Amino acid sequence: MIIRLNAQCKENIKRMAFLLIIRTIYLVLGLQVLSIEVYSFSKTSGFDINLNSNKEILSVVLFVFMSYIFMCIKQNDHFNYYLNVLLYLLYYIPINVAFSINDRDYIFCILTNIFYVLLMLSINHNTRRLNNSNCENTSVNYTLVRVGCMLICLMLIAYKMAATGFSVDFKFETDLMYENRANYIHNLSDNLLAYLFRLVVVNGSSFIAPLYLCISLKRKKYFDIVLSLLCIIARYSLTYEKAIILWLPIIGGSYIVFEKMKWNISKTVFRGLTIGMIALEAIYYFYHNSAIYYLIIRRTMFLPAWMSGIYYDFFSKGSKIWFSQSAFLLETIIPDTYSSSPLQLINNYYFSGKMSSPNTGLFGEAYMQAGVLGVFLFPIIFLIIFRFLEKTYRPFGRDVEFIVAILLTITITNQPILSRGAVFSVLIPSVFVYVLSRWRASYY
């Protein structure tokens, strides 16, 4: 017993060291890169970099305290624990740093920490609740899942060729990507059937295609691997969202590390992000090159936290929207609080109308919808959603659970979970997979 406790203490010390390294380098890179980068869409022509030393001290104290709570939560090798790990690294670290680096007010600090604690404990409750369940032994009808994913991918590829032809632009310049995305949106048809098709197939494929690729790699279905790859590329070339093309190295790396090499998933994530942040700092320090940082860390970590601060700043001064907008179904029956959508309000007020989709999720969504009440309400909403997702994907295996956890983490940090985009990108596809996988299930 003593040996086991000592081993756990050593592991916790390692994790605390990794977390402090990640947070420190994340802060340093933000100060080095973003303080000199010009972000033309913002009224400040930048990213509001204004480090407050006193707030940074408080942030570090809170970070150490939260890290201790995080390391005490129930651990296992399933979806909700992976989600807790990923949200801590990709969401809490940036939102903790945002308080000091963007000089947000103390109420922002209090509310973001309360929200995260409740979210973390909600996810941990799912981990404990599902730990003794045998849902991983549920039979899966892989044949139906394969056919369903195949149809979605084929429809998306056909739609892409009809909409924009065979061309794909892999240049990652921000202005060019926004221009391509704006051109796609401008040419969209207003026809109801076309809109429903985009809602179901275009949004759904951004989740189905990576999932299909992961399952196909695991089951060595080579035709399906090629088809899912083509679908991911086609989906990227429609809206030029950087996160979509990043699924290729993420899924490929996950397959090699976790399926072939059988490494521990959570330990690998901690160590991998630590090494990655050190490498990015070394690249910037010696070569003054921030391209990889700008493409990955700024996009997946800094921007969602920065946008959460912007949403808090805007809606702390005005009325909350109370599920009248950006809330699937509810928005059709609740009268609008504002004449414009939250995206338009934020775009016009902070970005002079030049940023088409200044989205955010988690705390930003909770505060936008219901203010302080939302901070306590949304962790319950997430608890229900996350429990369903683990029950859906646990029978597919831990590598699939991990990929779904990454997909979900990046989705909910970047857009409201209750919005039509997220509902049709994550929840409806998951219901689709759940129904197909359980229909007269058998191992095939």
Q: How far is CA 201 from CA 158, 194, 225, 233, in A?
A: 11, 10, 19, 15
- Amino acid 61 reads V
Taking alpha carbons only, the member of 115, 8, 134, 130 closest to residue 79 is 130
Distance between CA atoms of 325 and 368, rounded to whole angstroms? Answer: 10
Q: pLDDT tens digits for the chain (444 residues)?
A: 444 556 667 777 888 899 999 999 999 999 999 888 777 677 677 888 999 999 999 999 999 999 999 988 888 888 999 999 999 999 999 999 999 999 999 999 999 999 999 999 999 999 888 887 777 777 889 999 999 999 999 999 988 888 777 777 666 555 555 655 555 555 565 667 777 777 788 888 889 999 999 999 999 999 999 999 999 998 888 877 777 888 888 898 888 888 878 788 888 899 999 999 999 999 999 988 888 898 889 989 999 999 999 999 999 998 999 999 988 889 889 998 888 889 899 988 888 877 777 889 899 999 999 999 999 999 999 999 999 999 999 999 888 999 999 999 999 999 999 998 899 999 999 999 999 998 875 444
Counting DSSP H helices and E strands in the chain, the numbers are 21, 0
Helices within 290-397 (DSSP H only): 291-292, 303-315, 330-333, 342-351, 363-393
Taking alpha carbons only, the member of 312, 302, 273 closest to residue 95 is 302
Distance between CA atoms of 103 and 420, rounded to whole angstroms? Answer: 32
